[in-house]
Every structure is written in structure tokens, then in C-alpha cells.
Amino acid sequence: MQCFHCGREVRETTHTQKGYRVDYYLLHTGRTEWAFLKDPKEDGATLHYLKLQDPIDIVSCADCYANPQIRQRLEQDFNGSASILNGEGVKAAEKNTSPQPDHG
């Protein structure tokens, strides 16, 4: 697997007797659309939710996940305010990031 943001190959989580090391985080996302579920009761509220249309997994290496701008983009995708899959948004955000993390 590779990081969506920087392309670095990520490693599986390693476990030891005293702890573990996480090398990546996984966001299950994709193209969504708003859906509505009407309560059959006359006075029941309508439930609004994001329905996942085309699922995709976004892998973020631990270094990129620590970047506040990337973290904000992931949060925006998660709460439905902006899709991380918007190619133009991804390219613009990458150009505006501070120095790239050192993956060495």
C-alpha cells in the first residue's frame, strides 16, 4: 500500500511486548450523496445522512497524517463538507503545504 498524499510505501502495524508502531491510517470514503430517511410516524423526524456511492480507501502514512493541512482535509472529507477525492482540491492543497515531511 502507498500513501495517498506522498506516495511512500507504508508498513503494517508492528506489535511488541511493550507497545506497537502504526505506520499508516486508513479512511474509508468515496463519492457520496445526501440521502433522507423519513420516519413512518406522522410526527417523526427525517434522518439526513451521506450515502456512500463508490467506496474507496485513502491510506495516509503516519508522517502525512501528522501534517495539520492533510489532517484538516481528511476531517472535511469525513464530515462531508469537502471531498478529498476532488482532484483540483488535492493538487492545490499539496502546492500550499509547508515543507514535505521527511520519510527517511
Percent of the chain with pLDDT over 90: 42
- Domain count within the chain: 1
Q: Mean pLDDT across the stretch 32-60?
A: 86
Rounded to whole angstroms, how far apart are CA atoms 91 and 74?
14
- Asked, for residue 76, whether it belongs to a domain, the answer is yes
More confident residue, 48 or 79: 48
Tens digits of residue pLDDT in 64-95: 999 999 999 988 887 778 888 775 434 433 44
User: In angstroms, how far is CA 80 from the centroid of its own chain?
Assistant: 11
Averaged pLDDT score across all residues of the chain? 80
Residue with cell 476531517: 75
For position 33, what pLDDT does the model report? 84
Residue with cell 514535505: 100
Q: Record the cell numbers describing residue 60, joined without a space.
A: 495516509
For position 23, what pLDDT does the model report? 95
Q: Which residues have C-beta within 8 Å of that of residue 102, sequence separation ≥ 6?
A: 63
- Asked, for residue 9, whether it belongs to a domain, the answer is no
- Asked, for residue 75, whether it belongs to a domain, the answer is yes
